Structure 1
Amino acid sequence: MNGIGFALPEIFMLVAALVVLLVDLFLRQHSRILTYMLTQAALLAAALLVYGNFADGPARQVVGDMYMHDYLSSLLKVMALLLTCVIVVYGRKYWSDHQEAPGEFYVLVLFTVLGMMLMVSSTHLIVLYLGLELMSLSLYALVSLLRDDSRATEAAMKYFILGALASGMLLYGISILYGLTGSLELLAIAEILSHEGSAETVPLLLALVFLIAGLGFKLGVVPFHMWVPDVYQGAPTAVTALIASIPKLATLALLVRLLVSGLGNITSDWAQILMVLGMLSIMLGNLVAIAQMNLKRMLAYSAIAHMGFILLGISTQTMDGNSAALFYALVYVVMSVGGFGVLILLGQAGIDAETLYDLKGLNKRSPWFAFMMLLLLFSMAGIPPLAGFHAKLLVINAVLQAGHLVLAVGMVIMSVIGAFYYLRAIKMMYFDEPDDSTPLKWDLEFGLTLSLNGVWVLVIGLMPSFLMTVCVRALDAKHLL
């Protein structure tokens, strides 16, 4: 396959998004099922294109050395595309409950995924930045889809303003890096910085601070977390599920590309910053989540804590730590999407389920989906033998092996404290009487998708070795430049 052929999934996704946009213009409200079907077909076809050309050998730079074809990018693209298929299924039920069928939702979802695909494969800082902005601008628009909802409008404005500030910081860091090295290609930057005396300058450290600040906002870690609870609460629940998943995978890829591959020669500097941000995120996220009675805000602060674990994994500067962070990210996004799927299930007749009280008596209303939520919450809490337990164990072990005993002990303590708010939600599901005894409504597609979402957490927890092997291989030196 020639160089441009490796970018075929991205080219296909761009064409598919434009086709869905044009077709939707000519459809009436009741005919928008076609938009949904075209979106799902586009996502599945793109996933097949990526899988058909899965990078199983050494990493390669193609398309003018601006595009990386490696195992990591292929893995994250397939995962993101399949997760987006799940989110679109949840989104269809959400908009049906609200008696709306916005074609813009499906088009913007496709553009969001396209931006993510560009981000994970880019080795050129300008292309990387363009992918980030494409994804971010699509998300800003998605948050404000409920035009008559003041909370959604407020959340979109906060997200846009703070996101623009973070993008400016990232771009400023890139400009400083370019001024120091004269190159925008990550591998060329790494080679230039490898020369003796080039890696310990004040301007380089300044560039590093701006880069980490920009990426920290996208991950939603302390102290760049101020947008997370408001956006999670104000955005439509189907959009919140998207925000909680795809951007996390894309930003993890950026951290690996920028810090591990591009700035690996100043590892000690960025590792210390990530350690501080990671531990602060775990502490603040878990402690503040205890005080939340709004379920979406609770999951938002929970996300901040989970992102702290990922940062601490990368900060170890070891292969085990990096692969543990990747494993954690893949497990977390599935758990998070499933949790918001249950919230969409509980929301009926255009009324969103947002508070912990909406979970009361779920076991009496639907024992099966109460069990699915039980699996998801137990996994988030790190209860064995679910996938979340292995994710936390791998990261804590990597931190311990790197010699950071105090950090490892702190992570264990905060994990125990954080289990409280998950157990409180489970207690409400199984031991409280429901405030609303209205039977839950769902179609076969939604029920099957949500069930598979929950069962996946259990299956990976019982057989984690396959996903662990995949993560180690994705970050192996032979498959990652």
Structure 2
Amino acid sequence: MTTPIPQEVMNLVPAYAEIALLIGASAILLIDMFLSKAQRSITYVLSLLMLVVLAGISYADFAAGTTAYTFHGMFVADPMANLLKLFTYLTVGMTLVYSRQYAADRDMLSGNLGGEFYVLALFAMLGQMIMISASSLLSIYLGVELMSLSLYALVAMRRDNVRATEAAMKYFVLGALASGFLLYGMSMLYGATGTLDIREIATAVAAGTIKPTILVFGLVFLVAGLAFKLGAVPFHMWVPDVYDGAPTAVTLLLGGAPKIATFAICIRLLVEGLLPMAFDWQQMLMVLAVMSLVVGNVTAIAQTNIKRMLAYSTIAQIGFVLLGLLAGVAGTTNRTGMDAAYSSAMYYVLTYVLTTVGTFGTLMLLSRAGFDADNIADFKGLSKRSGWFATVMTILLFSLAGVPPMMGFAAKFAVLNSVLATGQIWLTVLAVMFSLIGAFYYLRVIKHIWFDEPVDNAPLAAPADMKLVLSLNGLAIVALGILPGPLLDVSLKAIKATLAA
């Protein structure tokens, strides 16, 4: 006779991945305390193994296609959450591979607690996973703060570096301001609806018994807080300074997986919780999207620092994500059109993250002890130093610019198609125009790579695992651009299943 599984244990099943990560990251931190600097690769391997275990758990849940709530409805494991978590693991894993040599060269992995780089990255990822699965205002804020505090510490890891310390201060102050905006908006929603549960908030708002003034007031602060986390204009002031000042390995942790988590809470809050107020937040997102496209693309042209250029590029890319989000409700009551719009925004986020991870990986490939490849001029003559990695970087830049047949073109096309379906032709034309303007600064780097003489003839020395993953990263961008259907279909199914539940 088999012993039945206690209900208390069954209630934890949806959160098994988070529980496993919490235990694993804590164990890795303890193990790392007993390792010497020469043994730091053990921490690296354990961190990657932890990601593999998590991927197995989340993939099993995703394949099941079910939606389960736990912790009194504060946490949900649904198809969208599991898909976004899988890409979060992939992004963080690639970041750790690309960053290992770079961090070691800058003594970020030295001392008795040198493994804190890996452990803080894992705890930041735990915050992102909580954000992705949050079904309550309280759990959203818990995830945001766990992620933010870990990232603040990572930006300030190089305590003897003035630029890194300055970037950490700016990020901390402005990040605290963003968290304050988000928390104030949540408190207004709680005061108006009397609940923290996103599903109950949706029911209360749809009932139409709450004064719209209170809801709109809270919504303004919510959108402002989300815009800070995404880096949308006019809440973008921290992005170029922090991207530039932070070590490139940490910049990658800032610019990759957190965007996936922030997209998730946009869906949770705006679509699942506040869809009856779609007309109001759609107007706000439209203004943010247009300003991000204009400021991001135009300002990037003036940059000579590659990290600042990519920071403004990020701002412009976020503009496209916001276009996808607003297209789900702009002028249409067609549920199919809404699902397609939200899935196109999800696909765009995943495309951006995979591409930007490879781009910063190439920066770290060009860097070495005592030298950071921070300037666009550092890419001069890369084709003469390594034809293959020059090709990979070219693929990544073409994808960011939206040149076919790269993955970025498929993502831009999907978003623009969703916007066009709402009848907003002017918005579609504007997005296309500024994408063409933005192509200039990507092509300028490509020109340096292929047509200029190298200013540095030092060989590209990097671990074999980094070169392998970077090569696969570039090939994946081409493959997913030529065959975008499978990932688009998976995104659409995940969105449909999540919103239906």
Q: With structure 2 as the length reference, what TM-score do the two structures score?
A: 0.94
Provide the C-alpha distance between the structure 1 equivalents of 2:104 and 2:165, rounded to a whole number of angstroms: 21
Identity, % of aligned pairs? 50
What is the aligned partner in structure 2 of residue 250 from structure 1?
A: 261
State which drifts further: 21-30 or 258-267.
21-30
From the superposition, tell whether residues 447 and 475 of structure 1 become closer, same or farther in structure 2 (CA, over 3 Å).
same
From 167, 172, 176, the equivalent of 1:155 is: 167
What is the aligned partner in structure 2 of residue 369 from structure 1?
A: 389
What is the aligned partner in structure 2 of residue 313 from structure 1?
A: 324
The question of whether the paired residues in 1 share the 8 Å contact of 2:401 and 2:438 is answered with yes
Q: Could you tell me how far 1:100 is from its partner in structure 2? A: 4.2
Output the amino acid matched with 2:272. Answer: S
What is the aligned partner in structure 1 of residue 476 from structure 2?
A: 456
The question of whether the paired residues in 2 share the 8 Å contact of 1:139 and 1:243 is answered with yes
Give the 5 Å matches for 1:56-205: 56-101=64-109, 102-198=114-210, 201-205=212-216
Provide the secondary structure at the position in 2 that maps to 1:61: strand
From the superposition, tell whether residues 113 and 422 of structure 1 become closer, same or farther in structure 2 (CA, over 3 Å).
same
From 215, 230, 234, the equivalent of 2:226 is: 215
Provide the secondary structure at the position in 1 that maps to 2:361: helix
The question of whether the paired residues in 1 share the 8 Å contact of 2:108 and 2:158 is answered with no
Q: Is 1:360 matched up with 2:360?
A: no
Give the 5 Å matches for 1:416-427: 416-427=436-447
Which runs of 5 or more structure 1 residues have no equivalent in the other structure? none
What is the aligned partner in structure 2 of residue 342 from structure 1?
A: 362
Q: Could you tell me how far 1:477 is from its partner in structure 2? A: 4.8
Post-superposition Cα deviations, 1:234-270, rounded to whole Å, max 9, x if no partner, equal: 1110111111111100000000000000001110000
Provide the secondary structure at the position in 2 that maps to 1:253: helix
Which runs of 5 or more structure 2 residues have no equivalent in the other structure? 1-8, 330-337
What is the aligned partner in structure 1 of residue 34 from structure 2?
A: 26
Provide the secondary structure at the position in 2 that maps to 1:475: helix
Provide the secondary structure at the position in 1 that maps to 2:207: coil
Provide the secondary structure at the position in 1 that maps to 2:396: helix
Provide the C-alpha distance between the structure 2 equivalents of 1:240 and 1:160, rounded to a whole number of angstroms: 14
Provide the secondary structure at the position in 2 that maps to 1:68: strand
Provide the C-alpha distance between the structure 2 equivalents of 1:104 and 1:278, rounded to a whole number of angstroms: 36
Q: Could you tell me how far 1:17 is from its partner in structure 2? A: 1.0
Output the amino acid matched with 1:170. Answer: L
Output the amino acid matched with 1:209. Answer: V
Q: Could you tell me how far 1:52 is from its partner in structure 2? A: 2.0
Output the amino acid matched with 2:267. Answer: V
Provide the C-alpha distance between the structure 2 equivalents of 1:364 and 1:427, rounded to a whole number of angstroms: 13
The question of whether the paired residues in 2 share the 8 Å contact of 1:44 and 1:82 is answered with no
Output the amino acid matched with 1:195. Answer: A
Provide the secondary structure at the position in 2 that maps to 1:476: helix
Output the amino acid matched with 1:21. Answer: L
Q: Could you tell me how far 1:471 is from its partner in structure 2? A: 0.9
The question of whether the paired residues in 2 share the 8 Å contact of 1:56 and 1:70 is answered with no
Output the amino acid matched with 1:98. Answer: R
What is the aligned partner in structure 2 of residue 44 from structure 1?
A: 52
What is the aligned partner in structure 2 of residue 293 from structure 1?
A: 304
Provide the C-alpha distance between the structure 2 equivalents of 1:238 and 1:100, rounded to a whole number of angstroms: 10
Post-superposition Cα deviations, 1:101-125, rounded to whole Å, max 9, x if no partner, equal: 1311001000011000101001011
Provide the secondary structure at the position in 2 that maps to 1:53: helix
Q: Could you tell me how far 1:478 is from its partner in structure 2? A: 5.7
Q: Could you tell me how far 1:5 is from its partner in structure 2? A: 1.1
From the superposition, tell whether residues 478 and 307 of structure 1 become closer, same or farther in structure 2 (CA, over 3 Å).
closer
The question of whether the paired residues in 2 share the 8 Å contact of 1:59 and 1:480 is answered with no
From the superposition, tell whether residues 232 and 122 of structure 1 become closer, same or farther in structure 2 (CA, over 3 Å).
same
The question of whether the paired residues in 1 share the 8 Å contact of 2:14 and 2:68 is answered with no
- RMSD of Structure 2 on Structure 1 (CA): 1.2
Q: Is 1:395 matched up with 2:415?
A: yes
Provide the secondary structure at the position in 2 that maps to 1:446: helix
Provide the C-alpha distance between the structure 2 equivalents of 1:225 and 1:35, rounded to a whole number of angstroms: 34
The question of whether the paired residues in 2 share the 8 Å contact of 1:361 and 1:432 is answered with yes
The question of whether the paired residues in 2 share the 8 Å contact of 1:375 and 1:458 is answered with yes
The question of whether the paired residues in 1 share the 8 Å contact of 2:131 and 2:261 is answered with yes
Provide the C-alpha distance between the structure 2 equivalents of 1:19 and 1:480, rounded to a whole number of angstroms: 38
Provide the C-alpha distance between the structure 1 equivalents of 2:208 and 2:369, rounded to a whole number of angstroms: 65
What is the aligned partner in structure 2 of residue 431 from structure 1?
A: 451
Give the 5 Å matches for 1:314-333: 314-316=325-327, 317=329, 318-333=338-353
The question of whether the paired residues in 2 share the 8 Å contact of 1:71 and 1:479 is answered with no
Post-superposition Cα deviations, 1:365-413, rounded to whole Å, max 9, x if no partner, equal: 0000000000000000000010000111111111111111111000000
